[in-house]
Structure 1
């Protein structure tokens, strides 16, 4: 397909596609003339992943380039690919794991659940800061309070990963991983709110 067709099918403007080509995010197409090239389905999938990383995950162009390079490097290791795409693995090999306040609480929760979680996972800091904030407000909340929620999260993770089983293409899986995690999260929060409203109506009338 020509770049105009690639633009139409991906929804990405031609000028943006040319920018991604210049920046090395999108590999060059097969040259058919001095100023023309053909692009295939692999380019379309790669372009969708680029847009997911930049528009959905909010990565910079430089960070996206590093993630794409790492995804290609670890193509055979699906766990590593997903970790890179979701931010649980550092692209920069010199990056140090977080060891701030509340780390021991998170470690205790992870150990209790028997989870294999990277030291670099950004969710660790979110949980630690949330527990610290709750305690500062006088809430009787410890890492043990989160265990029932962690068990529900585990069930959700099984549903998420089950949807990645129908393709062996690492780029397609990486794209879907971004969409299932980042893009689906607002809907999951909305479902929780709706369930809370329903439960309140059942318990207290309305």
Structure 2
């Protein structure tokens, strides 16, 4: 297909396709003339992945290039998923400025509890994982607000997260080739967060309304 057809098929403007080529994100097409090239299904898949990374994943062009390089090097579904997981932005709570010594103590306490939780769950996660840091910061900020998140409570949430992760990986396992798997991984990892949060809020709303059975469920 010509670049104009590639644009219509993927919904990516021709100018953007040329930009992605210049940035090294999209391989060149097969030259058919001095100024013409043919593109195939591999270019369609690549553009879909680029769109998923930049639009759904919110990655910069530089970060997208790094992810694509990691995906190209991947020799298994697990390595592809790891590359995508580590590339996507990690939710991290922002700590307000405060006493440095007290902040260090709070950080150390949260880090110790996160490490204990990971050990209790028997999760094979290195301490250098960005997700460990994100959870440590989030836990520290929750405790700053006197939220009661002890280890036993966290373990219950962790078990639920473990079940969700299994469902995610089962879904991704249906995709064999790397580009399709990578695209699916971005969709699952980037979109599942908002989806799960909305399901959680719906369930919370349901529970609140059940405590007030006289309330009309269709009321605003």
1:81 paired residue number: 80
For residues 165 and 107 of structure 1, the distance between their equivalents in structure 2, rounded to whole angstroms, comes to 29
- Max radius of gyration: which structure? 2
Inter-CA distance 131–116: structure 2 relative to 1 (3 Å threshold): same
Kindly provide the CA deviation profile for residues 93-125 of structure 1, in whole angstroms up to 9, marking residues without a partner as x: xxxxxxx64322221111111112243433222
SS at structure 1 position matched to 2:26:
coil
CA distance in 2 between counterparts of 1:112 and 1:134 reads 21
Alignment-derived partner of residue 95 in structure 1: none
Q: Which moved more, 1:3-12 or 1:123-132?
A: 123-132
Give the secondary-structure state (helix, strand or coil) at the position aligned to 2:200: helix
| CA–CA distance in structure 2, aligned partners of residues 3 and 36 of structure 1 | 8
Shift in Å, 1:184 = 2.6
Q: 1:13-52: CA deviations, max 9, x gaps?
A: 1100000011110011111111111111111111111111
Aligned residue in 2 for 1:72: 72
Residues 1:198 and 1:115: Cα distance change in structure 2 (over 3 Å): same
Superimposed CA distance per residue, residues 169-198 of structure 1 (whole angstroms, 9 cap, x where no aligned partner): 111101100101112321211111011111
Residue in structure 1 matched with residue 96 of structure 2 by the alignment:
none
> Is the contact made by 2:6 and 2:39 (CA closer than 8 Å) also made in structure 1?
yes
Gaps of 5+ in 1: 90-99
Q: Distance in 1 between matches of 2:49 and 2:151?
A: 35
Give CA-to-partner distance per residue, 1:59-117, whole Å, 9 cap, x none: 1111211111121112x13222111111179xxxxxxxxxx643222211111111122
- Cα offsets for 1:105-146 (capped at 9, x unmatched): 221111111112243433222221122112222233223321
Q: Residues 6 and 44 of structure 2 are in contact (CA less than 8 Å); yes or no, is this contact kept in structure 1?
A: yes
Q: Which runs of 5+ in 2 are unaligned?
A: 89-106, 216-220
TM-score, scaled relative to structure 1: 0.87
Query: What is the count of residue pairs matched by the alignment?
Result: 195
Instruction: Determine if contact 2:63/2:87 at 8 Å carries over to the other structure.
Output: no
Q: What is the distance in 2 between the residues matched to 1:88 and 1:34?
A: 37
The alpha-carbon distance between structure 1 residues 6 and 187, as it changes in their structure 2 partners (threshold 3 A), is same
Partner Cα separation in structure 1 for residue 68 and residue 119 of structure 2: 32
Counterparts of 2:188 and 2:50, CA distance in 1: 15
Aligned position for 2:24:
24
Q: Does structure 1 retain, via aligned residues, the 8 Å contact 2:67–2:87?
A: no
What aligned pairs does 1:105-144 form with structure 2 within 5 A after superposition? Answer: 105-144=113-152
